[in-house]
Amino acid sequence: MRLFLAIDFPDELKARIARNIEILKGYVPKGIKWVNKKNLHVTFKFLGDVNERILEDIYETVAKVTDTHASFEISFKQAEIIPNSERPRLIWYDMKDETDSAAKLFKDVDLALYDLGFSKEKRPLALHTTIGRIKFVRNIDWEKISSNLMPVEDIVQCNELTLFKSHLTSSGPIYSILKTFNLNKTKNYGGNI
């Protein structure tokens, strides 16, 4: 099973992001694999191919960590091309966590899963929502195109982490939720609940 932990979005927010994807498709109709509306999320930690026998251990481990962390908020910044418009690879919305709660949770989840045999992340958490993977498009006038996007100014209340199973198909991945892990709303770590 191919698994990843993520912050999922409400359907209304996914619909707003999908409207901007449709705008982008009008400017760049080919060469980009756009993310399906129902698959929009913030990847928290990619676990890779996992043996089903350790699923209960993962559930228990992640639940122990999330129970010690308060819910938090993340906000959208601008859509951008990564790494840059000269060598475009991804289009994503950068996201921000004012309290650094997401980074602390990420560190603790990463450490706990390392004890189960998963690789430690080499990079710190970079909150973002990928909306497109660029295959062969070059010379994108991103400044012009991005000025036509509708603003996404949502603040997302993160009350849980979601463990997704990803089934790869020729038409794109199909995600299914295996389990959600509630963050502890009664904890108060610096007022970020």
**Domains of the chain: which residue ranges?**
2-182
Q: Which of 41, 45, 69, 104 is catalytic?
A: 41
Region 119-130: mean pLDDT is 94
Q: Which CATH class is domain 2-182?
A: alpha beta
- 128 is a catalytic site residue: yes
Q: Which of 16, 50, 128, 181 is catalytic?
A: 128
pLDDT in tens, 13-55: 999 999 999 999 998 888 999 999 999 999 999 999 999 999 9
* Strands annotated E in the chain: 2-8, 32-34, 41-49, 72-82, 90-96, 128-134, 155-158, 160-167, 174-182
pLDDT at 18: 97
pLDDT in tens, 175-192: 999 999 999 865 544 433
- 167 is a catalytic site residue: no
* Position 76 pLDDT exceeds 50: yes
